[in-house]
Amino acid sequence: MNLSSPKPHSFSFSFSTSISQNPIQFPTNKTITPQKTLHIYALTTNPLPPNSPQRLLKELEQHKNKTHSPNKKTPPRTTILKPPLRNKNLINSPQLTLSTFPLLSSCLPHAPLKTTDSAWMETHLLEVKQALGYPLQPFDEMLGEEDNPAKQFDTLLYLAFQHPTCRGKGRHVRSAHSRLFFLGQYVIELALGEFFLQRYPREAVGPMRERVFGLVGKHRLPKWIKNASLHGLVFPNVDMDKLVRKEREQIAKSVFWALFGAIYLCFGMPEVYRILFEVFGMDPDAEECQPRLRKQLEDIDHVSAEFEGKLSWQDMVAYKPPADALFAHPRLFRACIPPGMHRFRGNVWDYDSRPRVMQILGYPLEMTDRIPEITEARNVELGLGLQLCFLHPSNYKFDHPRFCYERLEYLGQKIADLVMAERLLMKHLDAPGYWLQEKHRRTLMNRYCGMYLRAKQLHRFIIYSDKVRSSYERSHRLRNPATVSVQQALHGLSYAVYGKRDVRRLMFEVFDVEQIQPKRNIYVKRQSHS
């Protein structure tokens, strides 16, 4: 085969950005058939050298334009606060009009009510007031210029009935209803918790939780709504009994909790008891509300004389502690701390651990009592309460069922939930209730509550039984639930002795529960260089 030619030929190689056919033509005497044509495929190459600055800048620009995590899921809309209110709109909103009642002000809608809202109030508000036993006259006109939170009751009562399934309601109305809904659930839990703690001073915590669930569980709420003749407003133009159980219970729960949030903000806890037991007709002694039968340890210690008979809700409302009482809630303190705790005075923990625990928690608080003996007695009772908070059930519970922190823990859970809910409402003025609910749950998660206590090194003072001490100190699966219980019991004791203000001090100043994780002492070990 002769590959030479009288005329020189120039070989043309074509390169493109995509794969293309670039045949190389060889001059030959024979005609090459198309089936035997030679094909060469070529790709583009970067003409820039590897270490060229232009090449590095080009690669950096391409890297920025790429999506780093294409499979990453976007967060759900319930966890996103958008659009938040602007500072100008927030300052001019009705939420900041009541400077003397910041919690009440935070539950008002962040925009003025519209004409459709006023029309609903004119049409249905009289029916609601009549069912609840309130005067039909508007509260703002009845109270005049008096500085009273009840002046906003008409607005809050309207918001309580605007459940999420109502159509045509503005964002400010839906958000305000969800905030009342968020607050009301913890108000009901605390009210019934205090009631059953004092009504059954010898009962364990488990039966009390079942009693509360039997009264205000979501399966019971439609019945209470119907007993108060409010089902026509909650389920307009719909037969409540024909709805699906899930829809009926969800709507009834939303209105029921929001209603008690509004009542608590305007009239306080005594009015909550009246609405629960008088308007809705709840019966704590009803057969369907009784807990299941279980073995109960014998309570050998006597209780106070005021607990001999079953307390009624009228006793809860009419009770006023004497002027020289030792505690903010003396009857609640007696219901949680057994009188036999005085036998532990002067033991090793009382002399060795109690002063250090009181120093960490900032006790005793300065109180001005008329009689110096009252202050001394208060400190003694506070010390016994602190010892009970750190008394693990493995030690003396089988000798006496109340020689453990279970009742204080139950009370502490309820008051901590309410205090944290009030804090979040005043801190996040433009947040809907469902977002606040998620933040509340994550802040007071059990594993974090135990970490708050361990960060203050208070877990070292827990009194375990000698049989289980080594296992609890070695296993975090056993130790961590115990630290959570002690943390909640401290909140219950501070509420029974000093009131809600001391619970706020413990949560936000001593333990600082608003942080995601407690502060830890990080020790950096120096590495010796050889």
Please check whether residues 151 and 279 belong to one and the same domain: yes
Residue 373 confidence (pLDDT): 86
Q: Which of 49, 25, 50 is CA-nearest to residue 38? A: 25
Both 122 and 235 in one domain: the answer is: yes
| Residue 353 and residue 361 in contact, taking contact as beta carbons nearer than 8 Å | no
CB atoms within 10 A of CB 112: 10
CA-CA distance, 125 to 135, in Å (whole number)?
11
Whether 342 and 490 map to the same domain: the answer is: yes
Can you tell me the distance from the alpha carbon of 297 to that of 404, in angstroms, rounded to the nearest whole number? Answer: 13
Is residue 506 a part of any domain in this protein? yes
Report the candidate in 283, 284, 278 with the shortest Cα–Cα distance to residue 263. 278
Pair 157, 276 in one domain: yes
User: Any bridge partners for residue 41, and if so which?
Assistant: 21
Is there a single domain that holds both residue 374 and residue 505?
yes
Q: What is the pTM of this model?
A: 0.80
Same domain, 476 and 400: yes
**Taken in order 426, 432, 437, 439, is the CA torsion positive or negative?**
negative
**End residue of a domain, out of 289, 306, 340:** 289
Q: Tell whether 422 and 329 lie within a shared domain.
A: yes
Domains in the chain: how many in total?
2
What pLDDT is stored for residue 449 in this prediction?
A: 85
Can you read off the two tokens belonging to residue 61?
């620009």
Ranges in the chain, pLDDT < 50? 1-24, 26, 30, 32-33, 36, 40-43, 79, 518-530
Verify that 352 and 465 share a domain, yes or no.
yes
Bond from prior residue into 401 cis (ω within 30 degrees of 0): no
> First vs last Cα of the chain: how many Å apart?
75
Residue 463, helix vs strand vs coil: strand
- Could you report the per-residue pLDDT of 51-109, keeping only the tens digit for each? 777 777 777 777 666 555 555 555 555 545 555 566 666 656 677 777 788 899 899 98
Q: Phi, psi at residue 178, to the nearest 5°?
A: -65, -30
Residue with structure tokens 């039968």? 293
Would 275 be classed as within a structural domain? yes
Whether 362 maps to a domain, the answer reads: yes
In a domain? residue 271:
yes
Q: With respect to residue 455, please indicate whether it lies within any of the assigned structural domains.
A: yes
| pLDDT value of residue 48 | 66
CATH number of the domain that residue 198 is part of: 1.10.1520.10
pLDDT at site 39: 54
Residue 307: closest CA among 271, 344, 336: 336
Residue 279 is assigned to a structural domain of this protein: yes
- 128 and 207 in a single domain? The answer is yes
Establish if 55 belongs to a structural domain: no
Task: Give yes or no: residues 242 and 365 share one domain.
Answer: no
- Point out the domain boundary residue: 248, 274, 289: 289
Counting every residue, how long is the chain? Answer: 530
Tell how far CA 530 is from the center of its chain.
53
Burial class (CB in 10 A: 0-12, 13-18, 19+), 379: middle
Domain range spanning residue 327? 321-510
pLDDT for position 526: 39
Residues 367 and 231 both lie in one domain: no
Asked whether residue 128 falls in the same domain as residue 256, the answer is yes
Contact indicator for 124, 117 with CB cutoff of 8 Å: no
Question: In this predicted structure, what is the pLDDT of residue 375?
Answer: 87
Answer yes or no: is 78 within a domain. Answer: no
Tell me the three state secondary structure of residue 139.
Answer: helix
Residues 6+ apart with CB under 8 A from 48: 54, 55, 58
pLDDT in the model for residue 318? 86
